Amino acid sequence: MKVIVTHRNSGIPQKDYKLLDLFMRFLQKQFPLKHDLKVFFISERTGKMTTGSRNDENEIKILTKGRIYRDILRTLAHEWVHEYQRDVLKWKHGPDIGGRNEDMANSEAGALMKMFEKIYPDLEDKMYE
């Protein structure tokens, strides 16, 4: 499985791509996906997305404009868990508010952030940039 990352005017400096890569490697260890994944970091919302979205073509879009890294990474974790639900667990799409899928994605994203920050305490300042 590989992750293909694209920045569309994301505003994220290239020097910070290492943080994103480190986090995605962490996510793959915690919630291993079977299929390749495309991740787009974008500056403007598309469609009905709020801060992130995923589709059935194994693509995730993450809104970056005006957001600190901790928020960006939490959104990435949330959408990654949704991808895991569809790719590995074979769950069908659930309601956008509440329900098993959303509840799991929300709780796991929060837990993943805490785990990541505990493993990498030296990144604390970077998380709030």
Please report, for the domain that includes residue 10, its CATH number: 3.40.390
Average pLDDT, the chain: 93
pLDDT at 97: 75
Encoding tokens for residue 61?
């879009």
CA distances from 83 to 23, 54, 123 (A): 16, 7, 26
Mean per-residue pLDDT, 10-30: 96
Q: Decide if pLDDT at 23 tops 90.
A: yes
Give the distance from CA 8 to its chain's centroid: 16
pLDDT (average), residues 4-19: 94
Look up residue 92 and give its DSSP letter.
Answer: P
Contacts of 32 (CB under 8 A, 6+ apart): 1, 84, 88
Q: Using an 8 Å Cβ cutoff, are 2 and 25 in contact?
A: no
Query: For residue range 32-86, what is the model confidence (pLDDT) as tens digits?
Result: 999 999 999 999 888 777 899 888 899 999 999 999 999 999 999 999 999 999 9
Look at residue 38 in the predicted model and tell me its pLDDT: 97
- Per the structure, the count of domains in the chain is 1
Q: Which band of pLDDT confidence, cut at 50, 70 and 90, is reported for residue 103?
A: very high
pLDDT of residue 92: 83
- The answer to whether residues 53 and 60 touch, using CB atoms and an 8 Å cutoff, is yes
Q: Is the pLDDT of residue 99 over 90?
A: no
| Residue position matching structure tokens 């469609």 | 47
Q: What pLDDT is recorded for position 2?
A: 93
Which domain range does residue 98 map to? Answer: 3-127
